[in-house]
């Protein structure tokens, strides 16, 4: 399989105080190529610790991708220009952190903020997306200058009021019209929102820059109901060359429980299941020529 495989740090964490050294070693032991990390969490660390994490990732030969999301005071979809400007500054700092760690992909909810559903939001969706276009154009240019792909994730309706489907994310990508702003699709969210995951991938086409692979219930791939042949066939059809990150979650802990609605243990053997997912995904990738 030519496409790189990775794991989201949240599958390996036991608390909000992430042991990044342990996460890197466990990802490597499972034969992952990438660890997807949280920019905001990394930014809380002192510089010597950041340097140690960067050095270890290089020593282990692991790539790094980054996950992000905007705080309410930096919401790019806000009616307040000052808040949108805060968002641009926020992401500029996030890009600098990503660059420090050698990450070339940043993905997450870029329009709106998580679980923010004001009264009447269903009538404000188009306006909110329109508000975000100007800041996203600025950020796309910044991303290009930093050699980074900025990826908008299509998020299910229970977590976001905006960009719920691949089609909605693609519309924004087309409006911004930058090779540095693309779409992140996630099989968990797609399972909720899309009529056909394969067709959604094909419609996204060249705009697909990053992919999250997990089951319909956020287990590791190959353990539940997602049709991986449909997904891999579509990824082949669009010539996808990016990474596949297993954004599974093993159990509730800290803020991840309420933030991502993880209330019960989903994995009894996280390291074993992660290693099995690598074998499973590589088998599919080889079968479909990815």
pLDDT for res 241: 97
Active site residue 268: no
262: Cβ contacts below 8 Å, ≥ 6 apart: 218, 249, 251, 252, 256
| Structural domains in the chain plus CATH codes | 5-287 (3.20.20.150)
pLDDT by residue (tens digit) across 126-148? Answer: 999 999 999 999 999 999 999 99
Q: Which of 36, 159, 247, 273 is catalytic?
A: 247
Span between the terminal Cα atoms of the chain, in Å: 6
pLDDT for res 234: 98
Q: Which of 153, 159, 215, 273 is catalytic?
A: 153
pLDDT for res 227: 98
pLDDT for res 170: 98
pLDDT for res 157: 98
pLDDT for res 153: 98
- CA 17, CA 216: separation in Å to the nearest integer? 27
Q: How confident is the model at residue 182 (pLDDT cuts 50, 70, 90)?
A: very high
Comparing C-alpha atoms, which of 69, 80, 79, 51 is closest to residue 150?
69
Active site residue 93: no
- CA 110, CA 149: separation in Å to the nearest integer? 13
């Amino acid at each position: 399989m030519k496409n790189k495989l990775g794991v989201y740090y949240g599958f390996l964490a036991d608390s909000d105080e992430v042991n990044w050294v342990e996460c890197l070693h466990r990802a490597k032991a499972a034969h992952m190529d990438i660890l997807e990390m949280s920019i905001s969490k990394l930014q809380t660390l002192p510089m010597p610790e950041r340097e140690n994490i960067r050095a270890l990732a290089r020593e282990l030969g692991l790539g790094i991708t980054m996950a992000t999301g905007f705080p309410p005071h930096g919401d790019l979809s806000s009616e307040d220009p000052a808040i949108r400007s805060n968002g641009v500054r926020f992401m500029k700092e996030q890009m600098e952190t990503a660059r420090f760690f050698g990450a070339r992909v940043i993905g997450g909810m870029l329009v709106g903020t998580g679980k923010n559903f004001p009264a009447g939001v269903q009538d404000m969706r188009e306006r909110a997306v329109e508000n975000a276009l100007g800041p996203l154009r600025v950020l796309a240019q910044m991303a290009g200058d930093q050699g980074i792909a900025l990826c908008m994730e299509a998020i299910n309706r229970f977590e976001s009021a905006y960009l719920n489907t691949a089609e909605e994310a693609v519309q924004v990508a087309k409006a911004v019209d930058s090779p540095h702003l693309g779409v992140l699709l996630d099989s968990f969210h797609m399972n909720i929102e899309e009529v056909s995951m394969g067709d959604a991938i094909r419609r996204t086409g060249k705009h697909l820059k990053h992919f999250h692979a997990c089951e319909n219930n956020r287990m590791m791939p190959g353990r539940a109901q997602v049709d991986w042949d449909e997904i891999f066939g579509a990824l082949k059809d669009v010539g996808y060359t990016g990474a596949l990150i297993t954004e599974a979650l093993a159990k509730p802990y800290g803020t991840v429980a309420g933030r991502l609605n993880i209330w019960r243990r989903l994995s009894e053997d996280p390291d074993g299941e992660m290693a099995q997912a690598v074998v499973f995904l590589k088998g599919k990738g080889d079968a479909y020529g990815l």
